[in-house]
Amino acid sequence: MMTAESPKDPPASKLAVTLSPRAVEMAKARLQKRGTPDAALRLGVKGGGCSGFGYVVEFSDDPPRERDRVFDFDGVRVYVDKKSLVYLAGTTLDWEQTLMKSGFKFLNPQEAASCGCGHSFTVK
């Protein structure tokens, strides 16, 4: 849990990730369909992809790891490891549905550029 910020610290909202209401709804539906409504979503960043970094969204049946930040959005638990949070701070996870695809979409203010697939990015 975050405490009072010092003048040098960024606001707590800049150190967090958020889920849009639609992403919360779809996460709950996916967890229910999977038969694990008490599981969590793990968000992260990995090296690679056409632009340098790739986003990771996966289910986690395990408790959070020691260095994870844990967020809760209307009963949907989200784990983000501290290294990934450096690149995901301020990000909103949304749900996108188009004629061609549907799935979670990262709206990351730190993203300088992304590739056409939408899964690979570079940071500012």
Output the pLDDT for position 32: 95
Q: What CATH number is attached to the domain comprising 89?
A: 2.60.300.12
Question: Domain limits at 90?
Answer: 15-123
- Ramachandran angles phi, psi of 32, nearest 5°: -65, -45
In sequence order, what are the beta bridge partners of 95?
Answer: 104
Do the domain assignments include residue 4? no
Nearest Cα residue to 40 out of 13, 63, 60: 60
Residues in the chain: 124
User: The whole model's pTM is what?
Assistant: 0.80
Q: Identify the residue with better confidence: 26 or 51.
A: 26
The answer to whether 89 touches 14, Cβ cutoff 8 Å, is: yes
pLDDT digits (tens, 9 = 90+) for 66-122: 999 999 999 999 999 999 999 999 999 999 988 888 899 999 888 776 666 655 666
pLDDT digits (tens, 9 = 90+) for 12-37: 455 699 999 999 999 999 999 999 98
